[in-house]
Copies of this chain bind each other. A is one copy, B any other.
Amino acid sequence: MIPAGFAAQGLASGIKASGADDLALVATVSRRPVEAAAVFTRNLAAAAPVVVSRRHLAASGGRCGAVIMNSGCANAATGRAGVAAAEATAAVTARELGLAPEEVLVCSTGLIGHELPLERITAAVPELCSGLERSDEALVQAARAIMTTDTREKLAACPLEGSPGSTVAGIGKGAAMLAPDMATMLAVVLTDASVPAPLLQRALGQAVESTFNRLSIDGCTSTNDTVVALASGESGRPTGEVELVRALTEVCASLAHQMAADAEGGTKVVHVVVTGAATDAEALRAARKVADASLVKCSWYGGDPNWGRVLSEVCTAGVRVDPDRVELSYGPHVVFAEGEPVASDEAALRAYLAQPEFEVRADLHVGTGKGEILSADLTHGYVDENMGLS
């Protein structure tokens, strides 16, 4: 699975009090920089690692030899000391691998407002670097070390069409504070195809827009969202833009789906599909309004076909809509049309909603705009996870 030219590793550096893995590294086997692209959070309170990684990618002109990532501390809202700690993390990694500091990108995830325990990271980097391996197991190990409340590692891979022997693979994490806006939670996507950085950036932007940016667990956009793409060129094959976008999109879509399936406290993956809107943007806006409504999300948890709440949200989304023309359905089961409830097979409907993954559809019958948001239910487990004195 791991594309040629890359190695990875993960270990426990002591950032997490639990002793779980918390430090991950993805680097080139050659210890030389390769073509790189990244998208970051649009949250104005961008975390220190986002500030530093943006700066490094600009300074290196889209070249990167290593991405060092920690969980257990977001290094966000930590002021100048936080930026210095992110810089120091990159510097110590660069020194160990023989790279320039700006050829290292840094990602952090965890609690906001806590100081990064830099000395623990510094102490662990030599072992992390010397342990780099070109194996799939090592990539899984890296994916494990960036988990916070995630319960499963998230990995995805697919071959790159038209570029025989080239693959795209990625790792990611994310379970809450998850409503990526032009970016996502942490993800690293690797390919061994030959891709110049500008093309990689353009293709990554397109892939993210139709995958991570259509994911919303709780409507809360993180301070640390980052997706990095690296192209080693080791397969010796160039790639067409269409094929590259397709492969990146497949990998990003799989990672996004894995995040929805592992949402904090989540028991259901729900596709909210809006069609017949005036524009695609309005369809997405309506879908997002439904997906982020607490009342709607609780009804999914109980498997309750409470479509009145869906209608209410669609009609307060600020989009062009006439409630008398809206058609609502759960998968194949139409429940509301032409302004009135539609009698449905109650038992079949409840069985449909008892599934671990289902679809909620609203056809506005206004135009041809369509959009889909991937979401999850709001449960006791989500409350448990987030009320906590942690």
**Chain A interface (Cβ < 8 Å from any Cβ of B):** 42-46, 74, 76-81, 111-114, 176-177, 181, 218-223, 292-296, 298-299, 301-304, 306-309, 311-316, 321-324, 326, 336, 338-341, 378-380, 382-390
CB of A366 to closest CB in B, whole Å:
12
Please tell me which one of the listed residues B46, B111, B326, B378 contacts residue A294 in the complex, with CB atoms under 8 A apart.
B378
CB nearest to A340 among chain B residues:
B79
Please tell me which one of the listed residues B43, B304, B326, B387 contacts residue A298 in the complex, with CB atoms under 8 A apart.
B387
Docked Cα-Cα span, A222 to B44, in Å, equals: 32
Docked Cα-Cα span, A51 to B219, in Å, equals: 32
The answer to whether A308 and B388 have CB atoms under 8 Å apart is: no
The answer to whether A42 and B294 have CB atoms under 8 Å apart is: no
The answer to whether B45 and A311 have CB atoms under 8 Å apart is: yes
CB of A328 to closest CB in B, whole Å:
9
Provide the residues of chain B in CB contact with A45, threshold 8 Å: 311-312, 314-315, 323, 326
CB of A358 to closest CB in B, whole Å:
15
Provide the residues of chain B in CB contact with A313, threshold 8 Å: 220
Docked Cα-Cα span, A308 to B298, in Å, equals: 25
The answer to whether A79 and B338 have CB atoms under 8 Å apart is: yes
Provide the residues of chain B in CB contact with A76, threshold 8 Å: 308, 312
CB nearest to A82 among chain B residues:
B340
15 A–B contact pairs at CB < 8 A?
A43-B312, A77-B339, A79-B338, A79-B340, A113-B307, A181-B316, A218-B295, A219-B292, A294-B294, A294-B378, A295-B386, A298-B387, A302-B386, A379-B383, A379-B387
Provide the residues of chain B in CB contact with A46, threshold 8 Å: 323
Q: Which of A44, A80, A293, A314 has the most CB of B within 10 A?
A: A44
